[in-house]
Amino acid sequence: MARFKAKQPSSGAAEKKKPRMSNAERSAYFSRREAAKVLRSVLQGDAHRRAVASIKSLVYSPSIKNKKATFALVCQTLKHLPIIKDVLEGANILNSRWKRQVELVYIITYDILFGQEISFVGDAEKFLLQRKVSLQSALAQLLVRKKMKCIEDLLDRYQTPDVSKPRYVRVNTLKLDVDSALIDLRKQYMVEKDDVVPDLLKLPPKCDLHDHPLVMNGSVFMQGKASSMVAAALDPDPGWEVLDACAAPGNKTVHLAALMRGKGKVIACELNKERIKRLADTVRLSGACNIEVFHGDFLSLDPKDPPYSKVRAILLDPSCSGSGTVAERLDHLLPSHAAGQSANVDETERLTKLASFQKKVLTHALCFPQVERIVYSTCSIHQIENEDVVNSILPLAASHGFRLGTPFPKWHRRGLPVLEGFEHLVRTDPVEDKEGFFIALFVREEGSVIHPSLSPDSSHLSLVKRTKRKNLSKKEARIRMPTLYGGMFKMFLYSKPSFRVNLK
């Protein structure tokens, strides 16, 4: 006789299944966590005064799914961050667990106090929502302590007015001609051609093109006017070999390839491991077939090595303070800006170090034996990174047969009158032009003698003779590296990996 085991009644806990999140709840849940990730990167970079990608670049990276919601959350949280920090300190509700996820706490606190109270699903949300009364009480006490009548008055103490600037897009002429782009974009927007850069189009401010088909397929690139002027100033001929020394994220690199009509070769050099991925993605999107991505340090390249000895033009856009693009980058939302750190001693020291590095890369560029044109550019407004760098290099440049060229002769804004030849330099103004860039073009005189044996001395930019030796071993070559690249820097340099990236 068969025996059947009686079905045991399930416990109440087992019967209760965790309810599935609705689409709205799921969207809010993941947007907050994506926003927290971006916020952590931005705040850590700001705290260490280290250059990171802009907020827009971080949000619109491929890893972020809900871009619009994430961007709004990050920006609004940063605008309210001084208030949020004071409220959390006054409420005294954070334990060690949530202090380790403080960026997520900032995001959720913004939503609870200032945002829309919807879809608070998640442990962090529940923790803070249970303490909503404490948060509101701390906010009320803050208003009293600051002698403010409302939240808007409190925000006015920290916020900088938004800078409204036109939306520029550069047509990728490797995929689409300018007239076709105009026809397509004019179906939705008012569009006109730029009067300086031939393949640049101007649209009204705040046009959101991130999901536009032409942007998604790489036919146009969202790129500011001043940024687009850099490659145009270098103006390489089709068929040349060109080197982009600090290439990521790659907008200027692919612009060079387009200006060269896909002919010749562009060597895109980038040291940072994370940024090299972004560079490779940009190159793929552009469809350019004449770009070679090199993961390594520009300063480690030997100008006389066969892969680089035929380089005819070099674009130098090295690390800088980014002071000319604070509005575009939304740096005015960062804690350092609110605290007025831009004029402190640490900032002066940082600018000095940046200028020292900028001189090194420009000096190195002058040593390439066949180079005819070099563009040095920054997105900085500081003289120490711009005119001072150029002025310190001019004697060395002249000894190599270079003079300052004059890109965009009709452009009215020129360099500061602190050096001879300032009228050849290009500046854009952060107020008038909505971003502050600097461009210097060095052009080698026809028939000038090339001295491959000349190199800069470390203590000053005078020239020293080096005895030529044939058949040097790699070890001997490293030992005979100029003093400028010696010491600890040499140890750092040769510890870094360098390889070409396969884009296939």
In terms of domains, do 124 and 262 share one?
Answer: no
Query: Is 331 domain-assigned?
Result: yes
Give the tens place of pLDDT for each residue, 121-171: 888 988 998 999 999 999 999 888 888 878 777 776 655 555 578 999 999
Give the tens place of pLDDT for each residue, 364-383: 999 999 999 999 999 999 99
Selection from 192, 205, 202 nearest residue 164 by Cα = 205
In terms of domains, do 180 and 109 share one?
Answer: no
Selection from 414, 393, 410, 411 nearest residue 402 by Cα = 393
User: Known binder of ligand: residue 252?
Assistant: yes
In terms of domains, do 178 and 252 share one?
Answer: no
Backbone angles phi, psi at 109, to 5 degrees: -60, -40
CATH code for the domain in which residue 201 is found: 3.30.70.1170
In terms of domains, do 34 and 118 share one?
Answer: yes
Backbone angles phi, psi at 270, to 5 degrees: -150, 130
Query: Is 450 domain-assigned?
Result: no
In terms of domains, do 109 and 182 share one?
Answer: no
State which of 126, 157, 188 marks the end of a domain. 157
Query: Is 278 domain-assigned?
Result: yes
Query: Is 489 domain-assigned?
Result: no
Query: Is 8 domain-assigned?
Result: no
State which of 139, 157, 175 marks the end of a domain. 157
In terms of domains, do 282 and 149 share one?
Answer: no
Q: Which amino acid, one-letter code, is at 414?
A: R
CATH code for the domain in which residue 315 is found: 3.40.50.150
In terms of domains, do 82 and 46 share one?
Answer: yes
- Residue 407, pLDDT score: 97
Backbone angles phi, psi at 329, to 5 degrees: -80, -10
Of 45-54, 296-305, 389-398, 454-463, which range is least confident?
454-463
In terms of domains, do 297 and 414 share one?
Answer: yes
- What is the rounded CA–CA span in Å between residue 16 and residue 453? 79
- What is the rounded CA–CA span in Å between residue 245 and residue 267? 8
Query: Is 404 domain-assigned?
Result: yes
User: Known binder of ligand: residue 247?
Assistant: yes
Residue 323 has pLDDT above 90, yes or no: no
Of 133-142, 415-424, 462-471, 486-495, which range is least confident?
462-471
Neighbours of 314 (CB within 10 A): 29
User: Known binder of ligand: residue 367?
Assistant: no
User: Known binder of ligand: residue 272?
Assistant: no
Helix axes 102-113, 132-146, angle to 10 degrees: 80
- What is the rounded CA–CA span in Å between residue 17 and residue 354? 57
- The number of distinct structural domains making up the chain is 3
Residue 88 has pLDDT above 60, yes or no: yes
In terms of domains, do 181 and 304 share one?
Answer: no
151-165, 458-472, 476-490 — most confident range: 151-165
Query: Is 15 domain-assigned?
Result: no
Give the tens place of pLDDT for each residue, 218-229: 999 999 999 999
- What is the rounded CA–CA span in Å between residue 348 and residue 35? 31
Pairing of strands 402-404, 438-444: antiparallel
Backbone angles phi, psi at 295, to 5 degrees: -90, 100
Catalytic: which of 269, 320, 367, 379? 379
289 is catalytic: no
In terms of domains, do 36 and 82 share one?
Answer: yes
In terms of domains, do 186 and 144 share one?
Answer: no
- What is the rounded CA–CA span in Å between residue 317 and residue 171? 21
**What is the 8-class DSSP label of residue 379?**
S
In terms of domains, do 34 and 124 share one?
Answer: yes
Of 385-399, 408-422, 488-502, which range is least confident?
488-502
Domain range holding 87? 23-157
User: Known binder of ligand: residue 2?
Assistant: no
State which of 222, 251, 269 marks the end of a domain. 222
